[in-house]
Structure 1
Amino acid sequence: MSSRALRALALATAAVAATTALAACGSDDDGNKKAGTTAGADAEATTLKLGYFPNITHAPALVGVSKNLFKDALTGTELQTQTFNAGPAALEALLSGAIDATYIGPNPAINGWVKSNGQALKVIAGSTSGGAGLVVKDTIAGPADLKGKKIATPQLGNTQDVALRAWLKQNGLNADTNGGGDVSILPQENATAVQAFAQGAIDGAWVPEPSLSKMLLESKGKLLVDEATLWPNQQFVTTHLIVSQKFLKEYPGTVKKLLKGHIAAVKYINDNNADAQKAANAQIEALTGKALKEDILTAAFKNLKFTNDPIASSLYTSAQHAEEVGLLKKVDLKGIYHLGPLNELLKADGQPTVSDAAAAS
């Protein structure tokens, strides 16, 4: 081949390479520019949209944002956040693509798995255990006294709603989805339920922290059911971290960095509890305009355990409860967990790995 032909071939090859490189750095069909490595296990996005709630049960998210732990981990990726009152709303945002990942309760995650035939999301880490229960008026001594009463939950089909309905059924009481039955269940935002209880408009509520401690300390409510007592070893998933499968498939490198920030947040809370409480409270104030009172903050944190373990066995049981109360058809949850990246990071950090196994029969 002549020298002129060789030079032409070299120029053509360079042009193809340049065109390929530009395409790799272009936008995907969501307009989210790919950054850095764009294929394989290290693919990253320029933006990560993360959802969470302004609740103490979402303390790893609150602390992770407040202390810039996500920002530090997500090098090269901008963190955008959005807050929600309850799981179903966060789930809809994930399903619509408005967010890429979110902290959420088990039952909305299960519902999302069912709605999408197992195609929409993956649970990638645990976050919080405990911190929920049924607070009632002092005159209510047991399940029988709840007949004809009004009890609030954050939202129909959310984690606390399912827990209440399952507990009522186990105690021979029924409640339909329209507020009828032996017990009238009223979906209300947590803040609304706290206010309604204080005013005597409702007889109680099955709520997460810090609403639970607010109702106990500010309105002199009675803790009729501490949900932890209903679970083996008093451990159950209150909050875990999920990601859309689309985002996970396209940007596994970003998901791994999100997990790195999450692990750092959980570790920070457990190693620096007092400062973590202040950081979480500061973030709640920034989001809602009002910080928690010191006694409520302290009480709420005592009721919670922050962990990377998703406590998978309790998720399977929650699904069974939702089936039993008519909020969910029988579902196969095989494949809902994707814990490989989390366990890889935990192992590298010298921490115990976690499992997606159901409870031993």
Structure 2
Amino acid sequence: MKKGFVYFMMGVLLILSACGGGSNASSSSGDKQKVVIGYFPNLNHAPAMIAKEKQMYENQLGDDVEVEYRTFPDGSAFMTALATGEIQGGLVGPGPAMNNFISGVDVTVVASSSTGGTVIVSREDSGIKTVEDIKGKTFISPRVGCTHDVQFETYMKKLGITSDRTGGTMKHVTGKPAQYTTMFEKGDVDVATAPEPWASVLEAEVGANVVVDSDEISFGKTLPAAVFVTSSDMIKNDPELIQNLIDAHKESVEFINENPEEAIDITIKSIDEITGQKLDHDVMESAWARTDFVYDIDQEAIQAFGDSSYDLQFLKEKPDFTGFVDKSFINK
């Protein structure tokens, strides 16, 4: 975590304290309580899209609660919104959630959303066919130190190949996954650490080569690709609301596994509405095959991922995730 961001978050929290801000669900018109759910237009956030389409949160929370939805381009923006009380919970990558927890931000993981879905692909004319060919090339990830970045750099470091951030040969740039296709077409980047469905999009639209598949990448089988988070303040002050949110989330995950074709159609529609990109059903099926939707959490995988983030110098100190995960809501 860069110092500038840590100081920024500390400043935000101090301002909130002075203004009487907090992370409780906000008031809305009339007597209704308003709850805002955040998520990204990525496949591993499909449970939020399904829950929205099927009004699962609304049904669990009842008529006295107004549910709103907000989408984010990256984990940093999501975590800032959670810290400032703009959202009360939602889906985010484990990397941003871990980094903010270590920095002292009030965030608690209460469920997983999915595992898998991170794929390393290369531009068709890049000459990159194997991981050894990536040495000296330019790779892109959504953000520095994000979940997909850590997975990729962990994998590459085992081969003795590191990024320019730590004196290595790989040049690292960042960008939104929905824009990867354009960047590949322009030749701006050679390799993408792509969360699904964008890896399958790159394969279908620009002939990208799969260099490391989702079941081979570091932590690909065990690490949650997305987690449902809220604040300990929300858990303490309104545990019934959090239980209702997680019950809806579990219902959504179960729906996905029982109705994959309908879930794919809903996810295609939702991503189109958010990004303006309508994905082919065949592309989404390819992406779906690389993703497992689960709500249980592998705490050991989270610690191992955090240790690797420290080893890669994304973190200044070795992390301690005591109190980071609360499984009580998924176990009820």
| Paired amino acid for 2:114 | T
Query: Secondary structure, in 3 states, of the residue corresponding to 1:310?
Result: coil
User: Where does 1:38-57 land on structure 2 (aligned, <5 Å)?
Assistant: 46-57=33-44
- 2:88 counterpart residue number: 100
Query: Secondary structure, in 3 states, of the residue corresponding to 1:224?
Result: strand
Asked if 1:156 corresponds to 2:150, the answer is: no
Q: CA deviation at 1:312?
A: 2.2
- 2:110 counterpart residue number: 124
Asked if 1:268 corresponds to 2:262, the answer is: no
Contact 2:119 2:217 in 1 (8 A): no
Q: Which has the larger radius of gyration?
A: 1
- 2:5 counterpart residue number: none
- 2:4 counterpart residue number: none
Asked if 1:286 corresponds to 2:281, the answer is: no
- Classify 1:271/1:256 alpha carbon distance in 2 versus 1 (closer, same or farther; 3 Å): same
Asked if 1:90 corresponds to 2:78, the answer is: yes
Contact 2:203 2:209 in 1 (8 A): yes
- 1:142 counterpart residue number: 130
1:198 to 164, 172, 185: 185
Over the residues paired in the alignment, what is the CA RMSD in angstroms? 2.3
Query: Secondary structure, in 3 states, of the residue corresponding to 2:296?
Result: coil
Percent sequence identity over aligned pairs: 27
Number of residues of Structure 1 aligned to a counterpart in Structure 2 = 306
Q: CA deviation at 1:148?
A: 2.0
Query: Secondary structure, in 3 states, of the residue corresponding to 2:226?
Result: strand
| Paired amino acid for 1:48 | V
- 2:158 counterpart residue number: 170
- Classify 1:216/1:290 alpha carbon distance in 2 versus 1 (closer, same or farther; 3 Å): closer
| Paired amino acid for 1:334 | T
Contact 1:228 1:235 in 2 (8 A): no
**Whole-angstrom CA distance in 1 between matches of 2:261 and 2:187:** 34
- Classify 1:85/1:302 alpha carbon distance in 2 versus 1 (closer, same or farther; 3 Å): same
| Paired amino acid for 1:316 | Q
- 1:133 counterpart residue number: 119
**Whole-angstrom CA distance in 2 between matches of 1:170 and 1:64:** 39
- 2:241 counterpart residue number: 254
Could you state the TM-score of these two structures normalised by the residue count of structure 1? Answer: 0.79
**Whole-angstrom CA distance in 1 between matches of 2:219 and 2:118:** 15
Query: Secondary structure, in 3 states, of the residue corresponding to 2:164?
Result: coil
Unaligned runs of 5+ in 2: 1-19
Q: CA deviation at 1:341?
A: 1.9
| Paired amino acid for 2:164 | D
Q: CA deviation at 1:182?
A: 0.3
**Whole-angstrom CA distance in 2 between matches of 1:107 and 1:310:** 14
Query: Secondary structure, in 3 states, of the residue corresponding to 1:235?
Result: coil
